[in-house]
Amino acid sequence: MRSDRALAREIQGEIEKTTGEKVAVSMSDGIAGLRGHLTSHQAALEAGHLVGSLDKVREVVNDIVFPGKMRFKSPPGVSEELTGREFDVVIVGGGVIGLAVARELSQFNLSIALFERHNDVGMDQTTHSNAMIHPAIQAKHGTLRWEMNYKGNPMWDDTARQLDVDFKRVGTLIVAENAGEEALLPYAVNAAIKHNDPEPKLLDRDDLDRVEPGLAPNIRKGVLVWNTGIINVFELLIAYAENALSNGVSIFLDTAVTGVQTEDFSIKAVDTTRGTVKTGLLINAAGLYADRIAEYAGDRFFSIHPRKGETIIFDKSYQPVRTVFAPVSIAAESQESKYTKGGGIIPTTDGNLQFGPTAMEVCDREDVSTTAEGCDYLFDKFAPVLERLKPGYERPDKGKIIARFAGCRAATYKEDFIIEPSRKVRGLVHVAGIQSPGLASAPAIVERVREIIRGERHPAVNDKFNPVRKRQVRFSELDLKQQDELIRANPLCGHIVCRCENVSEAEVVRALHGDVPARSLDGVKRRTRAGQGRCQGGFCTPRIVEIASREMNIGKEHVVKSEGKSYVLSGRTK
């Protein structure tokens, strides 16, 4: 008790020294609580980071008020349709982690419900990620993030195969531009080995030409960290959801968790916008709102501070790299980056190039806005690298940027993952602070959650569990004969709706009636790629609005771009 008070005073002094301002600090069981007023968001963040960096502090709850701080508003109730239902397990959050946990736990004889507040899966962090299966070299050695990363990365070959999702081990190629940088390459090899990545390959010019053709003549050596992968993240989300559903999980979209009922420090029920369901086991996989769920359950011991990342995407006609590509100067920078990776040149499984993401602390967890500054920063940082290192290739051109997107990472002030049963509330498991590389780590994270549940509840095995899921046929991937056969069987396959990506009407209809049906234009886009091409929906949007209206049996004016009131049409012109 005395030492808690002494530590709190010490921390208070440190914050005052750094920010020049005073806040109240409390310490209990290693959890630091910060309260009071500071004059800026930046100062409140600095205070949080400072306290989070202390070894004696397990987590930080940062309640400091500053001008512009967002107030959380609980979503209003919609119905009572779920009241009275009971599940062995409730999962909050339908991002990659919640869905993967649902699928993993369906190996047991448990009734499982997953609640997701959006009208589609993965719409917070996961769809805004760069879809990269990171090597562990970038994670801070010794952290849980690192452990989950090095364990999760090699599990993707099997996971992607079972779920029938595009996944490629493209590797991260680090190239030296001069003799000084060549001398640094063995350090990269050693760092990867120290981080439990498989041994990278030291490449000479002949090897480099095979891996990444067209490099500048001065590049003679490089390192290939070959376990870096890229995955189709949209398909992955649907695949996890479909496989969980087919193994008996119930998924409720458009359903937010608004409260948690406990009795004698045990989970008893979960309040949602569609009623209250009984459960004894609650998995908190709520991403940017995981601290809110912890608070509902009476176990708030960490704060999430959103860190936004913006990405720019180029047209498929510009494909200058095969690997995740970095000169030593940039690779070293991302190694030093304190809170996240420093962004990069990353290809996608669909053949687009990405520059990104940036890293910027923001107040609003819902901030997915893109900015001219973010775009300029990324282009000005990475375009010269490509121009210099791949001189024979077409020059990077801003005119080839077809889309930009942004998402917030769910960071805690310890900057580590939290995957543990609650120390206060029986039946509560936190899977929180899952920022980058949460996607790469997902298979290992869910294995850890499975072991927690197995240890606590000893559930019986579900003999009918089937981990295999088959994806739907994509018209654009078939040869002419196969396309002809499909069109004969279903004439809608012959109506090409999206000319850029060669998507047929049949695929759009299927997306709207799938096991996890699309409820918006963006939902159709994520499932089919219609609208993801060069014209970004300029041609196909009116046609998809018509199809969605017909298939969902709603007026065209009610078809939305994403959700809420994002109507595509505002009224009749004549």
**What residues are labeled active site?**
134
Shortest approach of ligand FAD to residue 442 CB, angstroms?
Answer: 7
* DSSP summary character for residue 494: G
Shortest approach of ligand FAD to residue 330 CB, angstroms?
Answer: 16
What are the φ and ψ backbone dihedral angles of 190, each rounded to 5 degrees?
Answer: -65, -40
Judge contact between 226 and 134, C-beta under 8 A: no
Q: 283 or 453: whose CB is closer to ligand FAD? A: 283
Burial of residue 36 (CB within 10 Å: 0-12, 13-18, 19+) is middle
Structure tokens belonging to residue 5? 């008070």
Beta bridge partners of 305: 411
Q: 357 or 533: whose CB is closer to ligand FAD? A: 357
Binding site for ligand FAD (CB under 6 A): 92-98, 115-118, 122-126, 128-132, 134, 256-257, 285-289, 309, 357, 407-410, 434-440
Ramachandran region of residue 50, left (φ > 0), alpha (ψ -120 to 50) or beta? alpha
Q: 367 or 551: whose CB is closer to ligand FAD? A: 367
Cα–Cα distance measured from residue 394 to residue 124, given in angstroms and rounded to the nearest whole number: 34
Structure tokens belonging to residue 298? 């009476």
Shortest approach of ligand FAD to residue 445 CB, angstroms?
Answer: 8
Query: DSSP letters of 188-201?
Result: HHHHHHHTTPPPPE
**Closest to 247 measured CA to CA, from 113, 86, 106:** 106
Q: Which residue has the tokens 């940039």?
A: 330
Structure tokens belonging to residue 148? 């989950």
Shortest approach of ligand FAD to residue 189 CB, angstroms?
Answer: 22
Shortest approach of ligand FAD to residue 156 CB, angstroms?
Answer: 10
Cβ atoms within 10 A of the Cβ of 335, count?
Answer: 14
Q: 130 or 502: whose CB is closer to ligand FAD? A: 130
Q: 309 or 523: whose CB is closer to ligand FAD? A: 309
Q: Which residues contact 52 (CB under 8 A, 6 or more apart)?
A: 59, 60, 412, 413, 414, 415
Judge contact between 239 and 469, C-beta under 8 A: yes
Q: 33 or 437: whose CB is closer to ligand FAD? A: 437
Shortest approach of ligand FAD to residue 75 CB, angstroms?
Answer: 8
Instruction: Show the 3-state SS of 337-361.
Output: CCCCCCCEEEECCCCCEEEECCCEE
